[in-house]
Structure 1
């Protein structure tokens, strides 16, 4: 009897903020490349793309208009239902005020359409802690709560990025205090980013799952280096979703260079039945992530 495998969101992070063509010639930077990558990854099983855009010099860019143009190009090639997530990552180039300005500008740039945006808790928390210490201007908890409320009212849904179990506990603390208010939390657990060798291990997921996650929360994993696929299969087996791609890893599980981002998606999609999972459709991905159809 055929097993009814549960859907898993496969998200591709095709470029990131720092890598370039010198790292891999198939790393997509220009809009046509991003659009083609999205289409190829969707055909391989992905239902979502984590979007970084670059300026004409190839530098990481936080710009609402550039995001609008890139999302439009992706929709034309991969379909309007394909999930595009925008990053707010500072990447050493931007400050908290720049990230807030981006969030303020996005609803107008996208004409009020619902948006899915990633937000690193450590970047937000750094602003809070600077504010508390008086060392530099930052966000008060009241101001942060207002920012989350305004973003929610403007159609922005967040996936909060967490690097370790301490980050998760800090997130839960802010949530208990009402600073972060989201009835359907979307969380990204980053495995091994600050390990000594910069390589992720599947067992790094366990401390995250030891916590009491909020009801209705969805969680996703991303990993670095040679064990990306192993970490992804561990997440799939334990009920999570997966983000993978050239932002964090350029190699297949056998150590050979991946031809492109779609090759990484294909590799994982083929292994999902071993974990009792299957790649989600875009409609299923939207439901899993709490996004409108």
Structure 2
């Protein structure tokens, strides 16, 4: 039996209500989804915010509004912001977001931060000073190799050992499969990471169950997948969370106490 932590990513940067009518876009929708997912078993929220047109945003004011809404709807739920660029923002904007918010937790893409190593150094130092729990987004062996170099040269503090392995791709679409986990684990074996897995596409639950069985944690949600294994649409984020928690329980796994 394995114990695991479960985070939900209910929207991401790219999908909208046209992709799924229950995908949250506004702070109020996100807060409602967070509360439902928390009740279903998700312990933490990976938070994205949108502008008035529904596009990905790193605006600190919009984050504050969403953070307040989530704290009210799900006061026991941990919240992690994202600094993902989504092809829109440069590293200066990503740093500015971190500087303005000094969040409790944030996901930071190694690949994106590597676009400007001087800003990367400042960003990781800022997070260390602010006590921000950084989760390194790792898309493959190249990202892991870069992270290793940054540990060695001090760009990334040695205590920042949280990471998320991203299985599959959004664009071009590549369905994740459980057997894709091995390449990440092998490449990162020497780094002593506390790792989580997210997985694109309809095999999401199978990938996350494999991750738990291998000693990792899981991130689920409409950012990565809106489909059942058979290709139909999931009802909503909370339904997916509940189904996964039950599947994990049936496999002998249980949620860690936070």
Question: TM-score if structure 2 supplies the norm length?
Answer: 0.93
Equivalent residue for 1:70?
Answer: 66
1:144 CA displacement: 3.1
Q: Which moved more, 1:61-70 or 1:42-51?
A: 61-70
**1:202-213 → structure 2 map (5 Å cutoff):** 202-210=178-186, 211-213=188-190
Equivalent residue for 1:99?
Answer: 94
**1:253-268 → structure 2 map (5 Å cutoff):** 253-268=229-244
Structure 1 distance, partners of 2:165, 2:230, is 24
1:255 CA displacement: 2.7
Q: Is the 8 A contact 2:134 2:160 kept in 1?
A: no
SS at match of 1:250: coil
Equivalent residue for 1:278?
Answer: 254
Equivalent residue for 2:47?
Answer: 51
Q: Is the 8 A contact 2:31 2:73 kept in 1?
A: yes
Equivalent residue for 1:24?
Answer: 20
**1:24-43 → structure 2 map (5 Å cutoff):** 24-43=20-39
**1:1-293 → structure 2 map (5 Å cutoff):** 5-79=1-75, 81-107=76-102, 115-128=104-117, 139=118, 144-193=120-169, 198-210=174-186, 211-215=188-192, 217-281=193-257, 283=258
1:275 CA displacement: 4.0
Output one character per residue of 1:143-170: Cα deviation in whole Å (capped at 9) or x when no partner: 5334312221122221000011221122
Structure 2 distance, partners of 1:101, 1:70, is 18
RMSD between aligned alpha carbons?
1.8
Q: How many residues align?
A: 257
Structure 2 distance, partners of 1:252, 1:278, is 22
Structure 2: runs of 5 or more not aligned: none
Q: Is the 8 A contact 2:2 2:213 kept in 1?
A: no
Q: State the 4+ residue runs in structure 1 displaced beyond 3 angstroms.
A: 194-197
Structure 1 distance, partners of 2:18, 2:28, is 19
